[in-house]
Amino acid sequence: MDSQQGGAGELSSSPAHPPSRYESQKRRDWNTFLQYLKNHKPPLTLSRCSGAHVIEFLKYLDQFGKTKVHVTACPYFGHANPRDPCSCPLKQAWGSLDALIGRLRAAYEENGGHRESNPFGTRAVRIYLREVREGQAKARGIPYEKKKRKRATTTAVSAASGTQPPGGAAGDDSSGGTTANVGTVTAAATTNS
């Protein structure tokens, strides 16, 4: 019986769970952005940071990108799978930038920033991300279509009535939802700053 009590005591004194992958990435992204502001010419404080500075940061990150984005003069412009290599630049993929901005928006507010003054949520940043998405879609020949999500009420009503929603079985998520491709967007930026 003493061994069982000792085991329970060990469990309660064990360290807290390590942060999730998302939380770790958010912390790295936040530290990278703060380092970027510190290295900015002239140095910037967070309180003076605007949406324009956020866009400047996103453009800076393009140098660490891994996604081939064809220029309009390239013969592979608009082709998803070119058969030969070309000299078009590598950039950050739109999905990576979008996920990065989401993490930085959350980190800003968690670190005492006010939602109303969040530079990561400005209209200019949203417009920039939309332009990147559309530009990359055209250049790479990959359409970005917004996925339709199933409404919870439709599924709940269908489940209650015993009928299946159109497009698949109840609980089938083949036509809705999104998957986040959370990469290490700023790992190289952190080490090179």
Q: Which residues of 36-74 are buried (b: 16+ CB within 10 A; e: fewer)?
A: bbeeeeeebeeeebebebbbebbeebeebbebbbbeeeb
Q: Shortest CA distance to 149 belongs to which of 173, 168, 130, 133?
A: 173
What pTM, to 2 d.p., does this model score? 0.65
Q: What's the pLDDT at 174? A: 37
Query: What's the mean pLDDT in 3-8?
Result: 46
Q: Shortest CA distance to 175 belongs to which of 153, 141, 145?
A: 145
Percent of all residues in the chain with a pLDDT value above 90, rounded to a whole number: 45
Query: What's the mean pLDDT in 70-77?
Result: 90
Lowest mean pLDDT among 9-13, 157-161, 167-171: 167-171
pLDDT for 11-20, tens place per residue? Answer: 445 567 788 9
Query: What's the mean pLDDT in 128-142?
Result: 89
Lowest mean pLDDT among 83-92, 114-123, 124-133, 153-162: 153-162
Position with higher pLDDT, 5 vs 75 = 75
Q: What's the pLDDT at 82? A: 83
